[in-house]
């Protein structure tokens, strides 16, 4: 598999990416890397790291880079020659099998959508993120690719999350929950009420509405919501995790006795931090595209970037886009079938109404 | 001030409520309590607790109670004689100044909306919740009263949150943020984009869009969002807090050395739990009503219920509903002005479009 790696994306690029590539070439058999970025800059860094171009490591020039402060759309407008856009184009043209980037998330979404397009049957892509809970891990879809969604979008995110839970976490029959509010009587908002109806009819292990309380407690393997809600959930959780570490330090430093206790238990606190560590997964896949794209945190470590390359390689090998397309069709929620069904639902609703009026 | 207390609401009612009333009568000077619930049952409990009816403690009969498993609407349909509905009616009829309940949140919202109605200018009420951050406290509006909102609703929630931050937290010029996603270039979803325009023109300390990362870090005093997003944020945070305690125990019990450390630092962990303790605030006010209603957690302790009564008493004394109404008008976002402005905006938009077409 050939992985196009965005060498310029991320807060510590390209140095971090170079380190990642060194280990990727050693640890992942047969992987080929297309290193995308400004050739001169990359050559300088490669020399410093004793990396030489080979049949497993090729340089591809990209004139610019989408900086973190740039708007997402610059990837497809002002900076069409940016490293992330070149990566997406390589996949679109069949010159690479997957993209791995630790750069600007919005730019990666924009470039991938425009260059790779959706896989057959899918309306919009979603970002799938692995999160921890008290019994293991769960998957959040969509974690932020789409701010306004339709019921069909959410139903498709459910299927993509299901596949990721199966193939990424090894869960045989993932429990899929629709993120909503309150108990059984409040069915959620307009979007979730409609989505509930679709999910109920699909051949998936749909466990119904779940609420915020059910997220980190292990009630559910895939939590489905729109990208606005998902992004708020993801980022406020990260914020609370940081605040909790702050508070923990605060209370542990208050008395000499507590300080001694904290010193003895020091390694436990380091271990605690790892519960939220996403480096293992290398980032979040953007699912639903006609190609593979793995997006890392902007502040990715070499280990995280290496794992992003590993996951990109695996997903390309598994033909993840095709698997998603097939499952979407099997669930009867491909764009075309859904539009047809929806139309006939509407017309039968109308008939019903006319019947009542008579 | 006369406070109607829902004696039957909450997981441990009426025993917990009785204890709360004992301390409320001692600690809050001049407060009068209308204890609402099934008279026979309450008399039995009062006798056991040596509570006797007086000019400061009166019993009001309510035939039924909305149980936690009941639908919210039962407060205004099947159980019109429930304790929460009788409480709301007492305020609506001027026989009480405020309601305090630790019962079914949805039922309290439904009963209050229907019986008390909105205060002049307000379209919908919101639940305002006090949350911790690394520098102090912040307020979340709406934490779950409305699942589908308009830009006007959100603008009004901002004003209610502002007043609560001033009067409840003593913050002079509260920083108000609109909860959204991503950086500056992604302006959010359709709802927040429209809301942003309104908030920008209001005489409040609007600091623009904030994202999940800014919630627990102290960037902002009031976070404004719709009740669906707010409820997900609130409940997933509670879920993460519980999971973190679970993980902390797990890592601390792994080695004998850590166990000793944990024992020495034991009091610190107890203190850590208190950061998320909402008992001090006694619950969340339902703001925007033509009356005061404070809603406690279903699992409220006597201290929490007592504090709910204290806050209800203070808000009634401050005439919180009138303050909200005045501020809503001062900001030019009362229902009538907004509708008028919106209409003229639309017609000038149309004129503009016609101009372009020529």
Q: In this predicted complex, what is the ipTM?
A: 0.92
Q: Is A256 on the interface with B (CB under 8 A)?
A: no
Percentage helix, strand, coil for chain A under 3-state DSSP, each rounded to 5 = 50, 15, 35
Report the C-alpha gap between A199 and A331 in whole angstroms: 10
| Interface-testing mutation among B251, B252, B253, with chain A (most A C-beta atoms within 10 A) | B251
| Interface-testing mutation among B180, B261, B295, with chain A (most A C-beta atoms within 10 A) | B261
Residue A202 is encoded by which pair of tokens? 């699909």
Local structure of residue B225 (DSSP, 8 states): -
Strand ranges for A93-153 from DSSP E: 98-101, 126-132, 137-141
pLDDT tens digits, one per residue of A267-291 = 999 999 888 777 777 789 999 999 9
Predicted pLDDT at B314? 95
| Residue ranges of B 199-218 with Cβ closer than 8 A to chain A | 211-217
**Mean pLDDT along residues A30-57:** 94
Q: Is the dihedral of CA B191, B196, B198, B202 positive or negative?
A: positive
Is the pLDDT at A351 greater than 80, yes or no?
no
Mean pLDDT score of chain A: 91
Predicted pLDDT at B342? 78
Cα dihedral angle (A49, A50, A51, A52), rounded to 10 degrees? Answer: 150
Report the C-alpha gap between A297 and A310 in whole angstroms: 15
Q: Which residues face A137 on adjacent strands? A: A132
Is the pLDDT at A159 greater than 50, yes or no?
yes
Check if the beta carbon of residue A102 is closer than 8 Å to that of residue A283: yes
Check if the beta carbon of residue A26 is closer than 8 Å to that of residue A57: no
Closest B-chain CA to A229: B229
| Interface-testing mutation among A264, A295, A297, with chain B (most B C-beta atoms within 10 A) | A264
Residues with pLDDT less than 70, chain B: 182-186, 345-358
Report the C-alpha gap between A102 and B206 in whole angstroms: 32
- Subunit contact A254:B271, Cβ cutoff 8 A: yes
Question: A193 to chain B nearest CA, in Å?
Answer: 11
Distance of CA B198 to the CA centre of its chain: 23
Closest CA to B133 of B38, B50, B218: B218
Predicted pLDDT at A12? 84
Question: B231 to chain A nearest CA, in Å?
Answer: 6
Distance of CA B335 to the CA centre of its chain: 22
- Subunit contact B212:A238, Cβ cutoff 8 A: yes
- Subunit contact B228:A181, Cβ cutoff 8 A: yes
Q: Is A54 on the interface with B (CB under 8 A)?
A: no
**Between A182, A252, A268, which is nearest B254 by CB?**
A268
Q: Is B228 on the interface with A (CB under 8 A)?
A: yes
Residue A81 is encoded by which pair of tokens? 């020659």
């Amino acid at each position: 598999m050939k992985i196009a790696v965005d060498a310029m994306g991320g807060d510590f690029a390209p140095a971090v990416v170079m380190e990642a590539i060194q280990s990727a070439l050693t640890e992942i058999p047969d992987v080929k890397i297309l290193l995308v970025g400004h050739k001169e800059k990359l050559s300088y860094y490669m020399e410093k790291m004793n990396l030489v171009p080979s049949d497993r490591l090729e340089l591809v020039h990209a004139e610019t880079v989408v900086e973190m402060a740039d708007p997402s759309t610059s990837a497809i407008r002002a900076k069409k020659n940016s490293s992330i856009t070149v990566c997406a184009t390589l996949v679109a043209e069949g010159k690479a099998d997957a993209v791995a980037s630790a750069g600007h998330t919005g730019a990666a979404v924009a470039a991938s959508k425009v260059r790779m397009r959706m896989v057959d049957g899918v309306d919009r892509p979603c970002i799938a993120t692995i999160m921890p809970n008290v019994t293991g891990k769960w998957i959040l879809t969509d974690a932020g690719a789409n701010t306004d969604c339709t019921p069909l979008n959410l139903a498709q995110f459910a299927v993509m999350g299901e596949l990721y839970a199966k193939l990424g976490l090894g869960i045989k029959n993932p429990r899929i929950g629709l993120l909503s509010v309150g108990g059984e009587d409040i069915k959620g908002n307009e979007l979730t009420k409609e989505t509930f109806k679709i999910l109920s009819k699909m051949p998936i292990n749909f466990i119904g509405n779940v609420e915020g309380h059910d997220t980190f407690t292990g009630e559910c393997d895939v939590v489905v919501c729109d990208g606005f809600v998902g992004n708020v959930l993801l980022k406020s959780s990260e914020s609370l995790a940081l605040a909790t570490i702050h508070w923990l330090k605060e209370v542990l430093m208050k008395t000499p006795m507590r300080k001694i206790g904290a010193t003895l238990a020091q390694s436990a606190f380091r271990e605690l931090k790892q519960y939220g560590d996403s480096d293992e997964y290398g980032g979040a896949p953007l699912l639903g595209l006609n190609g593979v794209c793995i997006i890392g945190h902007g502040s990715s470590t070499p280990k995280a970037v290496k794992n992003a390359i590993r996951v990109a390689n695996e997903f390309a090998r598994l033909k993840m886009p095709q698997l998603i397309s097939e499952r979407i069709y099997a669930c009867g929620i491909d764009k075309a079938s859904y539009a047809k069904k929806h139309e006939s639902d509407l017309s039968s609703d109308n008939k019903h109404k006319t019947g009542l009026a008579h």
